């Protein structure tokens, strides 16, 4: 019985030792696990300059980026390298690759491929030469056209109905332009004008805008051909000296011109005159040997003034103002 008790005691203490050992193993296991799972505070700077602090249990740069769903673009690089293990309070910087990075990448790619596969060598030498291709400058001389300008001369005097008449056709000029052109791989990448010499001046196109002569005045002008002046040797009754002025059917002379006289006839040169109201329409007056017929009136035709009709404004202007003896022909 006593022996039995001792056996019992011994087995109990063995169980205890085993239990303690198991607990110890378990605790140390947790400690190792916890050491592995140690969390890190990592500062990540993105290519756009944004900074973020992340807490992670991962240690490799690639794994941290993957965990945070940060994907590197082809033109971006990460510092330190993706395979680096990051310490506690580490920092990851994503930045854009510089041109130099790309070239060195290409070179390393090329050396790899030349060592491994010769088939791709040509292509990679091309890529490399492209990256290293020198920029060549050329001077180019070209003849170019100078566009002409259009000059409009408006003589319509505000008339709403106008027509254009080309008085002078335009002609393009010529110039010799010298360019400095930069090429890379036979592709133009820049062009600067360094000088320009005019070889031929352009000729302006001159367009005259004139009033459209309306139908009545056109028919009047077609009917008012310069008729042979009516003359008479018969002397009439002398009315004395009159101021003789001149006018035509234009808007300047007549305001809004219809080509019709105040008596309703179409005015004719060498025939029509405007006289003051004391002369009835149809009255024939001899001035400087020509017999005119009073067919018109005028605001300025008063007293001893007679206005003689001409076919054109320039003819009326050329006549000007004269003084002459006026005879009344019966
Ligand atoms: Zn006129």
Which tens digits make up the pLDDT trace of 283-324?
A: 999 999 999 999 999 988 999 999 999 999 999 999 999 999
Q: Are 93 and 79 in contact, with CB atoms under 8 Å apart? A: yes
Q: If you measure from the C-alpha of residue 156 to the centroid of ligand 1, how many angstroms do you get, rounded to a whole number?
A: 13
Q: If you measure from the C-alpha of residue 212 to the centroid of ligand 1, how many angstroms do you get, rounded to a whole number?
A: 15
Q: If you measure from the C-alpha of residue 263 to the centroid of ligand 1, how many angstroms do you get, rounded to a whole number?
A: 19
Q: Which two tokens stand for residue 220?
A: 């009047």
pLDDT at 214: 43
The answer to whether residue 12 sits within a structural domain is no
The answer to whether residue 280 sits within a structural domain is yes
Q: Is the pLDDT of residue 26 over 80?
A: no
Looking at the structure, do residues 146 and 205 belong to the same domain, yes or no? yes
Q: How far apart are CA 147 and CA 172, in angstroms?
A: 5
pLDDT at 222: 39
Q: Is the pLDDT of residue 327 over 80?
A: yes
Q: Is the pLDDT of residue 112 over 60?
A: no
- Map residue 100 onto helix, strand or coil: helix
Looking at the structure, do residues 223 and 292 belong to the same domain, yes or no? yes
| Of the candidate ranges 83-97, 231-245, 294-308, the one whose mean pLDDT is the lowest | 83-97
Q: Is the pLDDT of residue 218 over 50?
A: no
Strands of the chain (E only): list them.
40-45, 51-56, 76-79, 91-96, 136-146, 150-154, 162-168, 173-184, 187-200, 205-211, 230-231, 237-247, 272-274, 284-287, 290-296, 305-309, 322-329
List CB contacts of 29: < 8 A, sequence separation 6 or more: none
Q: If you measure from the C-alpha of residue 220 to the centroid of ligand 1, how many angstroms do you get, rounded to a whole number?
A: 14
Q: If you measure from the C-alpha of residue 232 to the centroid of ligand 1, how many angstroms do you get, rounded to a whole number?
A: 28
Q: If you measure from the C-alpha of residue 316 to the centroid of ligand 1, how many angstroms do you get, rounded to a whole number?
A: 7
Q: How many domains does the chain have?
A: 4
Q: How far apart are CA 80 and CA 292, in angstroms?
A: 112
Answer with the residue of higher pLDDT: 102 or 220: 102
Q: If you measure from the C-alpha of residue 323 to the centroid of ligand 1, how many angstroms do you get, rounded to a whole number?
A: 20
Q: Is the pLDDT of residue 209 over 90?
A: no
Q: If you measure from the C-alpha of residue 322 to the centroid of ligand 1, how many angstroms do you get, rounded to a whole number?
A: 17
Looking at the structure, do residues 320 and 303 belong to the same domain, yes or no? yes
Last residue of a domain, which of 209, 227, 252? 209
The angle at the Cα of 25, spanning 85 to 13, to the nearest 5 degrees, equals: 170
The answer to whether residue 10 sits within a structural domain is no
254 burial via Cβ count (<10 Å: 0-12, 13-18, 19+):
buried
Looking at the structure, do residues 225 and 316 belong to the same domain, yes or no? yes
Q: If you measure from the C-alpha of residue 222 to the centroid of ligand 1, how many angstroms do you get, rounded to a whole number?
A: 17
Q: If you measure from the C-alpha of residue 161 to the centroid of ligand 1, how many angstroms do you get, rounded to a whole number?
A: 18
Mean pLDDT of the chain: 78
Q: If you measure from the C-alpha of residue 165 to the centroid of ligand 1, how many angstroms do you get, rounded to a whole number?
A: 20
The answer to whether residue 9 sits within a structural domain is no
Looking at the structure, do residues 82 and 169 belong to the same domain, yes or no? no
Last residue of a domain, which of 132, 153, 187? 132
Please give the average per-residue pLDDT across 61-80, as a whole number: 83
Banded model confidence at residue 257, pLDDT cuts 50, 70, 90:
low
The answer to whether residue 86 sits within a structural domain is yes
Q: If you measure from the C-alpha of residue 97 to the centroid of ligand 1, how many angstroms do you get, rounded to a whole number?
A: 82
The answer to whether residue 165 sits within a structural domain is yes
Banded model confidence at residue 215, pLDDT cuts 50, 70, 90:
very low
Peptide bond into 80 cis (omega under 30): yes
Q: Is the pLDDT of residue 189 over 60?
A: yes
pLDDT digits (tens, 9 = 90+) for 50-59: 888 888 888 8
The answer to whether residue 128 sits within a structural domain is yes
Residues flanking ion ligand 1, Cβ below 5 Å = 248, 250, 252-253, 313
Q: If you measure from the C-alpha of residue 266 to the centroid of ligand 1, how many angstroms do you get, rounded to a whole number?
A: 15
Looking at the structure, do residues 300 and 314 belong to the same domain, yes or no? yes
Q: Residue 161's domain is classified under what CATH number? A: 2.20.230.10
Looking at the structure, do residues 204 and 227 belong to the same domain, yes or no? no
Looking at the structure, do residues 240 and 281 belong to the same domain, yes or no? yes
Q: If you measure from the C-alpha of residue 186 to the centroid of ligand 1, how many angstroms do you get, rounded to a whole number?
A: 69
Last residue of a domain, which of 174, 209, 244? 209
Q: If you measure from the C-alpha of residue 310 to the centroid of ligand 1, how many angstroms do you get, rounded to a whole number?
A: 8
Looking at the structure, do residues 239 and 267 belong to the same domain, yes or no? yes
The answer to whether residue 16 sits within a structural domain is no
Q: If you measure from the C-alpha of residue 141 to the centroid of ligand 1, how many angstroms do you get, rounded to a whole number?
A: 56
Q: Residue 221's domain is classified under what CATH number? A: 2.40.40.10
Q: If you measure from the C-alpha of residue 240 to the centroid of ligand 1, how many angstroms do you get, rounded to a whole number?
A: 27
Looking at the structure, do residues 201 and 230 belong to the same domain, yes or no? no
Looking at the structure, do residues 242 and 322 belong to the same domain, yes or no? yes
Q: If you measure from the C-alpha of residue 282 to the centroid of ligand 1, how many angstroms do you get, rounded to a whole number?
A: 23
pLDDT digits (tens, 9 = 90+) for 133-168: 788 888 889 888 888 877 777 777 666 666 777 777
pLDDT digits (tens, 9 = 90+) for 240-255: 999 999 999 888 888 7
Looking at the structure, do residues 224 and 321 belong to the same domain, yes or no? yes
Q: If you measure from the C-alpha of residue 160 to the centroid of ligand 1, how many angstroms do you get, rounded to a whole number?
A: 18
What is the extent of the structural domain holding 77?
40-96
Q: Is the pLDDT of residue 221 over 50?
A: no
Strand partners, 175: 144, 198
Please give the average per-residue pLDDT across 171-182, as a whole number: 88
């Amino acid at each position: 019985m006593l022996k039995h008790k001792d056996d019992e005691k011994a087995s109990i203490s063995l169980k205890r030792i085993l239990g303690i050992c198991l607990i110890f193993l378990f605790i140390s296991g947790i400690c190792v696990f916890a050491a592995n799972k140690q969390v890190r505070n990592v500062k990540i700077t993105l290519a756009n300059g944004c900074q973020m602090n992340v807490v992670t249990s991962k240690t490799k740069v690639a794994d941290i980026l993957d965990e945070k769903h940060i994907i590197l673009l082809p033109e971006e690089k990460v510092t330190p390298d993706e395979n680096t293990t990051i310490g506690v309070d580490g920092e990851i910087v994503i930045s854009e690759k510089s041109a130099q990075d790309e070239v060195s990448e290409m070179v390393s790619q090329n050396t790899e491929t030349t060592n491994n596969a010769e088939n791709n060598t040509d292509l990679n030498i091309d890529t490399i030469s492209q990256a290293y291709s020198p920029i060549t400058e050329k001077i180019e001389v070209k003849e170019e056209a100078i566009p002409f300008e259009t000059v409009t001369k408006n003589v319509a005097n505000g008339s709403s109905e106008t027509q254009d008449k080309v008085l002078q056709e335009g002609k393009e000029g010529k110039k010799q332009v010298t360019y400095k052109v930069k090429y890379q791989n036979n592709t133009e990448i820049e062009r600067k004008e360094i000088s320009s010499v005019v070889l031929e001046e352009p000729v302006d196109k001159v367009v005259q805008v004139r009033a459209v002569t309306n139908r009545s005045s056109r028919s009047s002008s077609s009917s008012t051909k310069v008729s042979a002046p009516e003359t008479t040797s018969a002397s009439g009754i002398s009315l004395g000296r009159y101021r003789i002025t001149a006018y035509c059917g234009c808007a300047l002379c007549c305001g809004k011109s219809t080509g019709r006289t105040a008596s309703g006839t179409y005015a004719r040169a060498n025939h029509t005159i405007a006289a003051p109201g004391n002369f009835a329409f149809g009255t024939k007056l001899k001035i400087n040997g020509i017999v005119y017929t009073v067919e018109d009136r005028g605001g300025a035709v008063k007293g001893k003034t007679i206005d003689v009709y001409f076919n054109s404004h320039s003819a009326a202007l050329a006549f000007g103002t004269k003084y002459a003896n006026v005879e009344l022909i019966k």
